[in-house]
Amino acid sequence: MSRLMALVRAVNEKRVNFSQGISRTRRRDGSAAALRLALLWVIEGTLRPAKNIRQRRFDRSLCIVTTGRIAVTDAMRSAATHPDSTRYESMSPQQIKTLLRRLPIDSPAHFTFLDLGSGKGLPLVLAASYGFPRVLGVELDGGLVEMSRANVRSFETRSPTHAGVIGVTQGDAANVVLPPGPTVLFLFNPFGEATLRIVVDNIERSLKVSPRPFFVAYYNPVHREVLDERPSLRRVLSTTRLAMYEAHG
């Protein structure tokens, strides 16, 4: 019975998220954009079984585990400044690789890659493979932190040239001190509007103290308007599922 109830909750959550996402996109970007998003979600849902198979194969090739979904716990809600964390669900390796290639930087060699809400660490592993010399993940869920660290250790065993590149910290994104140098900040819709506003406030303060190249890659940009309304960030790329920003001014 508990499994059935969990399934019902998951279906209801998916339905609500779908409805809210379409309504939000229609208000922000118009009916055509909302239709494109709806079609994309239907296609992704149809292809998800095949995607999961490919991701499990990829995981096995690196002796890591990144698939699956993990719900937000009451402990996570109480630990955060705002109880708006979203559930864990990984992007596919191909989606992350495509995102990395689309970053508007000449080379990752002088940048830190920071993932807020880093989950099981797949973007961290791929960012290190892509050439970022320093890769940082911040995750609120202690269980996911341990899974991520185990994945990093397995990756480093398979790829010793990347040993020491990746660091994973347990913490609240609202309290993160941003790296002082050039940075790419990655977000896979890890939290809601309230926490995102604090993160963007922190970005603006950090850039005011230390102007530098700074980019935000926001996948599944549910609360894109939080970044759009800030004059210090300029949107340089926008697709149905991805928005990228650079520090401006």
Amino acid at 87: R
Q: Is 155 exposed, middle or buried (0-12, 13-18, 19+ CB in 10 A)?
A: buried
Angle (nearest 5°) at CA 48 between 44 and 54: 125
202: exposed, middle or buried (C-beta count within 10 Å: 0-12, 13-18, 19+)? middle
Q: What angle, rounded to 10 degrees, do the helices at 31-62 and 2-29 form?
A: 130
DSSP state of 160: G
Query: Residue 117: which region, alpha, beta or left (left: phi > 0; alpha: psi -120 to 50)?
Result: left
Per-residue pLDDT tens digits of the chain, which is 249 residues long:
455 555 455 556 555 555 666 676 777 777 776 677 667 666 666 756 777 788 899 999 999 999 988 989 888 888 899 999 999 999 999 999 999 999 999 999 999 999 999 999 999 999 999 999 999 999 999 999 999 999 999 999 999 999 999 999 999 999 999 999 999 999 999 999 999 999 999 999 999 999 999 999 999 999 999 999 999 999 999 998 999 999 986
Break the chain into its structural domains and give their ranges: 2-62, 72-247
CATH 3.40.50.150 fits 72-247, yes or no: yes
Could you give the strand order of the β-sheet that contains 166-170, starting from the edge strand earlier in sequence? 166-170, 134-139, 112-116, 183-188, 214-219, 242-247, 233-238
Q: Rounded to two decimals, what is the model's pTM?
A: 0.86
